[in-house]
Structure 1
Amino acid sequence: MMRATTRIGHIGTALGAVAAVLMSALALAPTAHAATGLHVSNGRLVEGNGSDFVMRGVNHAHTWFPTRTAKALSDIKALKANTVRVVLSTGDRWTKNDTADVANVVAQCKQNRLICVLEAHDTTGYGEQGGAVTLARAADYWIGVRSALAGQENYAVVNLGNEPYGNNNAAAWTADTKAAIVKLRNAGIHNALMADAPNWGQDWTFTMRDNAASVLAADPDRNTVFSIHMYGVFDTAAEVKDYLTRFVNAKLPIVVGEFGHNHSDGNPDEDAIMATAQSLGLGYLGWSWSGNSGGVEYLDMATNFAPAALTSWGQRIFKGANGIAATAKEATIYR
């Protein structure tokens, strides 16, 4: 009896010690934030009321064409888009879009009943492109403009950094993405986040595909969507379907954050991209409204920003099969 009693006493002491350690660990761990707007649920992006939200829209290069933005957003909405991805700059490679400007962009998106995906473009091709900055630097930028994001969780998604690695050292994407996410959460940013793939966004090394689950788990809010850019790497329907289906089967949120009908690295299968996204209920955002240069002017959807002068690419994405006009549904927050 004495031995049994003594043993029970030791067990009780041990359990008490374990409980104390667990309480201490919980006190140090980041606290998950209850979703108040757009958020991830069961592998899907949903609105604050739980309604499924499927992005259908295009990219607009605000940082290079700020005076065009107001009309561009109005024209994009008139063509039935429900989302616009807006190019911003941290100030490292192009003129910085400050807090007031970011707030104005969000306000204009709301005026046009569009969901706004805000992206920091200066990270493009880090490790391979001269002048590109780290995801840590992009995170600092978002923290600097966080007052423009606070309270906009129903309307604005924060795209950590555009194509944040080139083809060099792409494996570092995983740790750097996790660190950037935690940095933003610790700073009080609770908008849905979007993480672009490495390899210039095309993830041909499958770094994002194979590590997305651990990246999502590292987000205290569990509110990160993954974005694949589909250009020359995705030139067959089989490649498009395989990549997107793997995310869906793993219940990991994925969107096609950029794609085109042609590209310098090959001929993407835009028909398969749009059809597969539609069949799987996934979002897509085409590149881009207007203003392309450097040999990829063919990616303009509107000639000189004129909606009455849609290019063949503009006609395809807005008015073609599985296109924006036929498939986009406005966010319920605006209805």
Structure 2
Amino acid sequence: MTIPRKRKWWAALVAAACAGVAALAVAQPAQAAAGFTVSGTQILEGNGAPFVMRGVNHAHTWYASQLSSLANSKALGANTVRVVLSSGNRWTRNDAADVSNVISQCKANRLICVLEVHDTTGYGEEAAAATLAQAVDYWISIKSALDGQENYVILNIGNEPYGNTNAAGWVADTKSAITRLRAAGFAHQIMVDAPNWGQDWSFTMRDNAASVFATDPNRNVVFSVHMYGVFDTAAEITDYLGRFRSAGLPLVIGEFGHLHSDGDPDEDTILATAQQYGVGYLGWSWSGNGGGVEYLDLVTAFNPAQLTTWGQRLFNGANGIKATSKEATVFGGVQPSSPSSSPSPSTSTPPATAGCTATYAATGSWQGGFQGAVTVKAGSSAITAWTVNWTWPNGQRFTNSWNATVTTSGEVVTAKNAAYNGSLAAGASTSWGFTASWTGTNNAPATVSCTAA
């Protein structure tokens, strides 16, 4: 089975009045420190620490056996995963036991879990789509799995809950859904997706966000836009994100890609502006896309060692996950991109050699574990293959690795290039990464050597 094809959005981005900014603004009361809350444009953890989502979408309901995808996305730096669930209206229902297990796996992998019902996708235009009311029925039916998880779980009521037909109906239906969830006792932060297949080209969500937010007695609603072909220019992206920023309302980019059948999203501006404004983002999607949009896979065949072009961009590119992600403080608050968060010393760079050099760095650390990166650089001549060696100084042990074939013999580590990253031009470099365990001390290897062919 493959993920159903992401729907095309043929409508062009329409003009809107600047008065929308004033209509968005709304006062927000102080919140109790229980689970995620909202303060202006920021998402806060229960202890008041700001949290910015940096993560991926994972199609759990169609690939229930691929729970290792959570650990693998974490290993690449993600701090959040948006998990696709089904209410049973269109696909096989994910019951309370399954959802409890998903939450447990998210917590074990130190990931914040955004749970969404996918059955609502394209309601009004997609005949099989469920209503937001049916999505609420589902959440109420599995409430036992969610109670007490407010520090770890954000509830995304329904994916892309309206197509392009009668998008205005989104306002009343979303307000009703929020009201029903609160009446049922849900204290979680609630995320709402935009209509127009998530892209809000009609600005229905944007221009009604203030009144939707005010509907929630907890004032704890986050808005989610999906950026595909509608957002193919820098002006469209910066204007949309800027409107929510000016209005003081919280927004995340719940889905986006680097290509799409309805146009070519400007992913560079999406990532740069999200970083500038402190807006969270979740790339679509880890793996398993079909129906002609396989290019939206971040890794091939669920293999974290096979990053696609899109995966390389999202995880390793400018303003990407590796460079900007910070772990939730409920797990320790590790920032994978910051060597200063790792035990010291955390880096090891050997003298230059004729063939290649290798630089080791611990890029993030938590109690009992850490993440590392090794950069291999060719010398004055091109190389066709490389091998990196070191000896662990403190009994560290690998738990995962990617972009290299790693073997160990006791403390001795040997890492060889993957099939796709062995050939390097003179002066060019490539990187591979890993997670490992440590106890007591986590010093960098004294010597890291590289030999080339």
TM-score normalised to structure 1 length: 0.89
Q: Does 1:258 align with 2:221?
A: no
What is residue 133 of structure 2 aligned with on the other side?
A: 136
Letter in 1 for 2:111: L
SS in 2 for 1:64: coil
How many residue pairs get aligned? The number is: 303
**Alpha-carbon deviation of 1:115?**
0.2
**Offset of 1:43 from its aligned partner?**
2.7
Q: Which has the higher strand share?
A: 2
Pairing 1:106–2:111 present: no
Do the aligned residues in 1 keep the contact of 2:192 with 2:222 (CA within 8 Å)?
A: yes
SS across alignment from 1:157: strand
Partner-residue secondary structure (3-state), 2:159: coil
The residue aligned with 1:63 is: 61
Q: What is residue 158 of structure 2 aligned with on the other side? A: 161
The whole-number CA distance in structure 1 between the counterparts of 2:141 and 2:159 is: 18
Q: Which has the higher contact order (CA 8 A, sep 6+)?
A: 1
Deviating above 6 A after TM superposition, structure 1's stretches of 4 or more consecutive aligned residues are none
Identity %: 69
| Cα pair distance change 1:33/1:98, threshold 3 Å | farther
Aligned to 2:47: 49
CA distance in 2, matches of 1:180, 1:190: 14
The aligned residue for residue 185 of structure 1 is 182
SS of 1:158 mapped into structure 2: strand
- Whichever residue aligns with residue 317 of structure 1, its letter is L
Measured against aligned partners, the alpha-carbon deviations of 1:258-279 in whole angstroms (never above 9, x if no partner) come to: 0000001000000000000000
Please list every run of 5 or more consecutive structure 2 residues that lacks an aligned counterpart in the other structure.
1-29, 333-453
CA contact (8 A) 2:33 2:47 kept: no
Q: 1:306 maps to what in 2? A: 303
Find the counterpart in structure 2 of residue 225 from structure 1.
Answer: 222
Say which SS state the counterpart of residue 244 (structure 1) adopts.
Answer: helix
Determine if the alignment matches structure 1 residue 213 to structure 2 residue 210. yes
1:167-178 to 2 correspondences below 5 Å: 167-178=164-175
- Root-mean-square deviation (CA, aligned residues, Å) is 1.0
Deviation at 1:251, TM superposition (A): 0.6
Pairing partner for 2:285 from 249, 271, 288: 288
3-state SS, counterpart of residue 202 of structure 1:
coil
Answering whether residue 82 of structure 2 is matched by residue 85 of structure 1, we say yes
Q: Which of 186, 192, 195 is matched with 2:192 structurally?
A: 195
Task: Supply the AA of the counterpart residue of 2:162.
Answer: Y
What corresponds to 1:40 in structure 2? 38
In the alignment, the residues of structure 1 paired with residue 230 and residue 110 of structure 2 have an alpha-carbon distance, to the nearest angstrom, of 33
Deviation for aligned residue 1:181: 0.4
Classify the secondary structure of the residue corresponding to 2:313.
Answer: helix
Work out whether residues 87 and 118 of structure 1, in 8 Å CA contact, stay in contact via their aligned partners in 2: yes
SS of aligned partner of 2:292 = coil
Alignment correspondent of 1:247: 244
Q: Counterpart of 1:195 in 2: which secondary structure?
A: strand
Return the match for 2:147 from 136, 150, 154: 150
Q: 2:91 — aligned with what? A: 94
Whichever residue aligns with residue 294 of structure 2, its letter is E
Amino acid at match of 2:228: Y
8 A Cα contact 1:34 1:221, kept in partner? no
Deviations 1:46-73 (A, max 9, x none): 000111000000000000000002x100
Measure the CA separation in 1 of the matches of 2:33 and 2:251.
18
In structure 2, give the amino acid aligned to 1:219: D
8 Å CA contact 2:227–2:253 kept in 1: the answer is yes
Structure with the larger helix share: 1
Residues 228, 255 of structure 1: 8 Å contact kept: yes
What residue in structure 1 maps to residue 71 of structure 2?
74
Alignment of 1:311-330 (within 5 A): 311-330=308-327
User: Using the alignment, how far apart are the partners of 1:240 and 1:280 within structure 2?
Assistant: 12
Compute the displacement of 1:35 (Å).
Answer: 4.7
- C-alpha distance in 2 between matches for 1:198 and 1:295: 23
Paired residues of 1:35 and 1:221 also in contact (CA < 8 A): no
Q: Deviations over 1:153-179 (max 9, x none)?
A: 000000000000000000010110000
- AA aligned to 2:277 is L
Q: Distance in 2 between matches of 1:75 and 1:296?
A: 22
Q: Is the 8 A contact 1:54 1:281 kept in 2?
A: yes
Q: Deviations over 1:201-235 (max 9, x none)?
A: 00000000000000000001111100000000000
